[in-house]
Amino acid sequence: MRLRFGYRIAYECTQPTPTLLMLRVHPSRENDLHSPDLVGTDPAVPVQSYIDGFGNLCSRITAPPGLVTLTTDATIESSPVQDLVMPDARQIEVGQLPSEHLVFLLGSRYCETDKLSDIAWSLFGHTPLGWARVQAICTFVHQHIRFDYMAARSTKSAFDVYHERTGVCRDFAHLAVAFCRCMNIPARYCTGYLGDIGVPKDDSPMDFSAWFDAYLDHRWYTFDARHNRPRIGRILMARGRDAADVPLSNSFGMTTLRHFEVWSDEVA
């Protein structure tokens, strides 16, 4: 299955503004690309690439004063198989986890395990270990949170989401990630494209999506508390502890978002 994906995002800057971008497809999907996934800029400015500490492919530019538009339009081969479901996947004891995954057990900027630990154990302490426990967390978050674009804000944490009971896909992911970590299950935040492929079309404008990975049975599995069902057509861009590690853009100066458009569609 071939997907066409891309974006058109415009910012207005008051002065030359160094900016970090996380808009490229993750290196793990590089061999699936049919056409280059490059960050185009208008006006043209130099774009430098680098790999961050989590293995994500990042870009850096200095945006000129005025309007700068960022674009890409590429195609990628995507599996027609839905997210894997492995009900027998076991939970790994903390002492047996690979050392490089321990960071995904710790609290982070948007996932306050210290504030949510008692809540998590009261909600999920009775559930079976492993896959069933992660699925119970996803189901609870899916049912507990009402999706609402108007409830989004950049400072909203998992603890806020639990009490306010509203949010967007990143909020669903943050709360599920925090609960998993509280239950000693490594979890990492993921962001990327998720078009309406294999599901009814959503009439609202498309945005980038957020989901998470949980480490079970010595491998990472994809979970999605926002939709709470296996999906096809995910295109991973970046992974980290939470959204603070994988912002679409991080500007070192005053910028104003003027245009935002994202697409991901199956190519006939």
Per-residue confidence (pLDDT) for residue 268, from 0 to 100: 81
Would you say residue 204 has pLDDT above 90? no
- pLDDT bracket for residue 79 (50, 70, 90): confident
Is the same domain home to 26 and 137?
Answer: no
> pLDDT above 70 covers what percent of the chain?
100
In a domain, 88, yes or no: no
Would you say residue 211 has pLDDT above 90? yes
Contacts 24+ apart (CB under 8 A), 122-129: 123/179, 124/179, 124/183, 125/183, 129/90, 129/91
The span from the CA of 222 to the CA of 114, in Å, is: 24
Residue 107 belongs to what H/E stretch? none
In a domain, 86, yes or no: no
Q: Is the peptide bond before 43 cis (omega within 30 degrees of 0)?
A: yes
Is the same domain home to 251 and 187?
Answer: no
Would you say residue 25 has pLDDT above 90? yes
Distances (CA, A) of 241 to 18, 152, 165, 212, 228: 24, 19, 22, 10, 21
Task: Dig out the tokens for 27 from the structure.
Answer: 């290196």
Per-residue confidence (pLDDT) for residue 205, from 0 to 100: 86
Is the same domain home to 226 and 260?
Answer: no
- pLDDT bracket for residue 201 (50, 70, 90): confident
Is the same domain home to 241 and 176?
Answer: yes
- pLDDT bracket for residue 202 (50, 70, 90): confident
Is the same domain home to 139 and 223?
Answer: yes
Mean of pLDDT over the chain:
96
Is the same domain home to 99 and 205?
Answer: yes
In a domain, 89, yes or no: no
Where in the sequence is the domain holding 34, given as residue range(s)? Answer: 2-79+247-266
Is the same domain home to 63 and 98?
Answer: no
In a domain, 87, yes or no: no
pLDDT tens digits for 94-150? 999 999 999 999 999 999 999 999 999 999 999 999 999 999 999 999 999 999 988
Average pLDDT over residues 74-98: 95
Per-residue confidence (pLDDT) for residue 93, from 0 to 100: 97
Per-residue confidence (pLDDT) for residue 203, from 0 to 100: 83
Question: Domain holding 158: CATH number?
Answer: 3.10.620.30
Per-residue confidence (pLDDT) for residue 120, from 0 to 100: 98
Structural domain total, the chain? 2
Per-residue confidence (pLDDT) for residue 42, from 0 to 100: 97
Is the same domain home to 128 and 198?
Answer: yes
Question: Domain holding 49: CATH number?
Answer: 2.60.40.2250
In a domain, 85, yes or no: no
Is the same domain home to 46 and 159?
Answer: no
> pLDDT above 90 covers what percent of the chain?
94
The span from the CA of 102 to the CA of 215, in Å, is: 10
Average pLDDT over residues 49-64: 97
Is the same domain home to 239 and 199?
Answer: yes
Is the same domain home to 104 and 185?
Answer: yes
Is the same domain home to 39 and 152?
Answer: no
Cβ contact 133:124 at 8 Å: yes
Cβ contact 18:60 at 8 Å: yes
